[in-house]
Amino acid sequence: MVTTFAEQDRDDADADDDVPTVTVMLTMTLTNANLTSLPRFLPPDILQLDLRGNHIERITDELESYSQLEMLDLSENWLVALQPHAFSALSRLRVLRLNRNAISSVQPSTFANLSSLAVLYLNDNNLAYVPGGAFSDLGSLLTLDLSHNMLTSSRMTSVSFAGLSQLVTLVLGNNRLRLIPSSALKTLDKLIMLDLSYNIVENLRSTSFHGLKSLQELHLHDNEIDFVSDWALMGLPWLKKLTLYNNYLTYVPIDALKELTRLEVLDMSGNRYDRIHPDSFTALPWLQHLRLNHCPLLKVVESHAFSSGLDGLRTLEIASNAKLNQIATGAFAGLTSLDHVYLHDNQLINLDAALLPWNDLALVDLTRNPWRCDCDLSWMPAMMRAARNTTHALLAMVTCNSPARMYKKVVRDTRASEYVCSYHPTDHRVIAAAVSVAAFLVVVVVVVFVYRARHNIGDRVKRRFRYRVFRDGQLSTVDDEMQRGDEAAQSAEKL
């Protein structure tokens, strides 16, 4: 047991020094003490009571003696149900911790008279639903944590959070929500942070966040989202942070994101797109930090993937993508304010020298890529040696993977003359053009040959299989018959 005391301030500054100092007990800590019920005979003036890690199963009337309490911690006990008016004597209580119990239900009057309560932890319990009116007396509540329960969308109604007029933080992560509980959320017009991560949400509809006009932080990561309506994020004018990582998206929801004109941090890592198309990210003028890490199918970042309207982007992470082997020239053309770029742990073998203003970056991470150190990458050693001091430690770990004679060499320590190819760096374009012309000529020759062959065969067939007829017992050709016809016609004219 740990007890903390403090001296009580005296109003009379001229009081006799011989008068004993009055002390007020602030905190009573009885953690892991094998208690099976709430203690009844503690000092009544304690302000904080910590009963974590005991075996308390029920709350009856024991708390009536501690009306001065401001913090009560009953986490990690054996509570199963909370009775009506269980805390009604604690009108001054500001923090209540009931997390990590086995609570399966609460009653509409469980939290009655807790008019001063600001923080309520109900996470890590067995709650399947919250009845309407359960929080109706908590008009001062600022933070509510209901994560790690068994809550479902179907059992949330428009009155599930009724009365929480001042709520700014709501945590609903790690539940069984398949849909965004829009009707339950729409009354929380002062909500600033909403956590819906680690659920089984499949799509974001056009009315998903209607009414949350003050929301600044939205966590939707680790769900099963594969569709985002173009209007799903409307009505969130102050949203600054959005996490959508580890979902099933095969595309970047461009039109939905355009609604978030004040967005500063966006994390779309761990999704299933195989390429980042042109104009995938645009018209986000306040965006400062963008993450596209751990995308298992991502292979290509196309030219102008990050186009106009990203003037504030300073940090870009495209790292740990197991199949990413191409970032097109011009992919980052619209990013004029970048100073931190993370491209580590991909499958990149080369990059264009004009991809980024390398020497203007405060930090660039190119480590753990299988760089092919030939003439196409000959610009990189000089760039690394000229880079700012803040990136030298990272650049020292960038090594060549091929060709064999360059294997494991530190790029920064090599010379441009070592980066050679068996052909001129522009020869591949000439070769491609030559192959195209040759293919065209072959096609022309084949067409002419087929045309002439068909005509030759036709002539031969005519000569070999000319029609023959019998006249007066003698074999004659078609030409003979035509000649006889002409003679007969001339005779008829003379008559």
How many domains does the chain divide into? Answer: 1
On the question of pLDDT at 450 being above 80, the answer is: no
The pLDDT tens digits for 218-238 are 999 999 999 999 999 999 999
Whether pTM > 0.85 for this model: the answer is no
Q: What is the 3-state secondary structure (H, E, C) of 344-408?
A: CCCCCCCCCCCCCCHHHCCEEECCCCCEECCHHHCCHHHHHHHCCHHHHHHHCCCEEEECHHHCC
Sign of the torsion formed by the C-alpha atoms of 355, 357, 363 and 366 = positive
DSSP 261-313: TT--EEE-TT---SEE-TTSB-S-TT--EEE----TT--EE-TTSB-SS-TT-
The closest of 167, 174, 158, 225 to 193, measured between CA atoms, is 167
**Structure tokens belonging to residue 379:** 């610009």
**Least confident stretch, 59-73, 116-130, 232-246, 437-451:** 437-451
173 and 199 in contact (C-beta within 8 Å)?
Answer: yes
Task: Give the range of the structural domain holding residue 417, as residue numbers without chain letter.
Answer: 364-431
Region 440-451: mean pLDDT is 69
Of 232-241, 394-403, 430-439, the one with minimum mean pLDDT is: 430-439
The tokens 């990210």 sit on which residue?
Answer: 281
> Does residue 122 lie within any of the structural domains?
no
CATH of the domain at 414: 3.80.10.10
Q: Does position 12 have pLDDT exceeding 50, yes or no?
A: no
User: Is the pLDDT score of 20 beyond 60?
Assistant: no
d(CA 201, CA 226) in angstroms, rounded, equals 9
- 206 located within any domain: no
Which range of 80-84, 316-320, 435-439, 485-489 scores highest in mean pLDDT? It is: 316-320
- Within a domain: residue 419? yes
Q: Are 220 and 241 in contact (CB under 8 A)?
A: no
What is the pLDDT of the chain when averaged over all its residues?
Answer: 87
Structure tokens at 414: 């090599």
On whether residue 240 sits in a domain, the answer given is no
Q: Of 299, 301, 300, 247, whose CA–CA distance to 269 is shortest?
A: 247
Residue 378 inside a domain? The answer is yes
Q: Which of 71, 70, 91, 1 is nearest to 39 (CA)?
A: 1
List phi, psi (to 5°) of 155. Answer: -105, 10
In-domain check, residue 151: no
Residue 121 lies in a domain: no
Q: pLDDT tens digits for 251-269?
A: 999 999 999 999 999 999 9
Residue 425 lies in a domain: yes
**Choice among 13-22, 44-53, 159-168, 247-256 with the minimum mean pLDDT:** 13-22
* Helix/strand/coil for 141: coil
